[in-house]
Amino acid sequence: MECVRLDTLRKGANRSYLQDPLGSERIRSEPFGTDLQDPGDQGDPTGAIPRLDREPRDQPMDTRHSSRPLRTLGAALAAAALLLSGCSADAPAPRAAALSKKAVPAALKPYYEQTLSWRLCGGADFECATLKAPLDYTRPGTGRDVRLAVSRKKATGPGRRLGSLLVNPGGPGGSAVGYLQSFAAVGYPTRVRAHYDMVAMDPRGVAESEPITCLSDKQMDAFTQTDQTPDGRGETDRLVAAYKKFADGCASRSGRILGHVSTVEAARDMDVLRAALGDRKLHYVGASYGTFLGATYADLYPHRVGRLVLDGALDPTLSSRRINRDQTAGFETAFTAFAKDCVRRTGCPLGTGSVATARDRLGAFFARLDTHPVGTGGPRPLSESLATMGVISAMYDETAWPQLRTALRSAMSGHGGGLLNLADLYYERDTDGSYANLMYANPAVNCLDLPPAFRTPAEVRKSVPAFEKASPVFGKALAWAALNCAYWPVRPTGTPHPLRAKGADPIVVVGTTRDPATPYPWARGLASQLSSATLLTYDGDGHTAYGRGSGCIDNAINTYLLTGRPPAAHTRCH
């Protein structure tokens, strides 16, 4: 509830790996259903995407687990993505011979010229290392550094190695290392993995890279129960107090790094990593918030851009308030699609009438929970706030709709455990009661990147009607959720502005027409700003497009990654 952007991919457990500004991950169907051209085949010089012959697929990776995304995927993420200790030594990576030394300030050269010491970790031929970067890029060389967790799986071959492919699942706050080890390094198409070293780095403040912490697990339980639709002065004061306690906890527990987790700093870390890997250019696939990170990198270092895929894009020109309102409308669109499907089914918990009736029934259920939470079979009752997040959690991917129908049916009968489980997936709360770092890193990045959406409760009250117009179901709750940055202990360092990346190689921006977390107009906006971008459209539901079962989308992206040739302008897939 404290996050500014709701776009992050919640990948892994019940949403296949993707992220969220309240986050990003989702449930996916068979991933990456088409295979790719060999990099030596440049294909049709007109730029049209040829129809590629399919090879036998990799065994599809089942990412639909009962545990929450990111932390427990494939049994690995609870072990946290990066077992930096107890690993055997390996030969160091070559230094970045391709680095343009004259473009690097002298104070940064030690970082750019560092050698990564790789160690076996995580099983399945993964290697791990630690990258050193300056805590403050305006004052490098002072000894105040951050240590960033990196993992890779080398290209499997045969054929020519194309370099490193850096992946980021979004968030902000999603563990890229966890995503790599649980999905990308084994779930990406065979021929992509054959020609690229698959690489991930947890951004500063995230997961294994000096993770931000703010509250104890019990305090976080209380925070997520806070009434997020205050009806009067007392409830408003309690919500504000919860936001202040959260912010104060971040300052007291993570003060050293809290002012240095901006997207710009994370992008600069990526360039240090590129150099340490020995790559002349950066190849990258970013989803959700990862698109903003990738576009920021491209704008900072346009001539170091290789092949960039930005899937589920953010528009960097938007204010925090506009981002929140657009996402609110996006979740309403997703709910409408869910309701249309539900009311056609026997036993739909929202009735078998119209979408409007379904919307009213859900609203009435939320209103009852506001005063009368229902039991869950455990010590934590299902409140209105948790139920709202549980429904939103299932909006990231239509394959979660059956689970949501069952959870709503049970909750409306007085058994709220299923909907609580969906909320826990959203908040990345494990079955042992512990929380992942995403819900702390997420506001830390968001509140640093942009000025707050609202500065006072009075501003929120004035905007609630606009949010409720965008979404009668979620509007009020998501308006109040956007107040969190008003009490953040660190002043924002960024402002909304276009990203141009003039001189960059071709970039592919991907947008999904009914994406709830990163609405399609955002992809159009980013593609229009980036000087070399091509917009690839997926006409469908859910958050992000790559690997969700569209052969058209996967074929276009895979061909681009292997040949450098982007899809034809105005390509639209189903």
Q: Tell me the two tokens of residue 409.
A: 């049916």
260 catalytic per annotation: no
Q: How far apart are CA 25 and CA 9, in angstroms?
A: 3
Q: Which residues pair with 10 in a beta bridge?
A: 25
Nearest alpha carbon to residue 291 among 268, 274, 316: 316
Residue length, the chain?
Answer: 574
Type of residue numbered 126: F
- Do 411 and 387 touch, CB atoms closer than 8 A? yes
288 catalytic per annotation: yes
197, 397, 505, 515: the active-site residue:
515
Give the position of tokens 């459209």: 537
- Do 297 and 507 touch, CB atoms closer than 8 A? no
- Do 461 and 239 touch, CB atoms closer than 8 A? no
CB atoms within 10 A of CB 506: 18
541 catalytic per annotation: no
Task: Kindly state the helix (H) or strand (E) to which residue 87 belongs, with its residue range.
Answer: none
Q: How far apart are CA 238 and CA 231, in angstroms?
A: 11
209, 288, 383, 471: the active-site residue:
288
Task: Kindly state the helix (H) or strand (E) to which residue 258 belongs, with its residue range.
Answer: helix 233-258
Neighbouring C-alpha atoms within 13 Å toward the C-beta of 423: 27
The residues, any chain, with a CB within 8 Å of residue 360's CB and separated by 6 or more, are none
262, 543, 550, 554: the active-site residue:
543
Burial class (CB in 10 A: 0-12, 13-18, 19+), 513: middle
Nearest alpha carbon to residue 261 among 313, 199, 213, 318: 213
Neighbouring C-alpha atoms within 13 Å toward the C-beta of 253: 18
Tell me the catalytic residues: 288, 515, 543
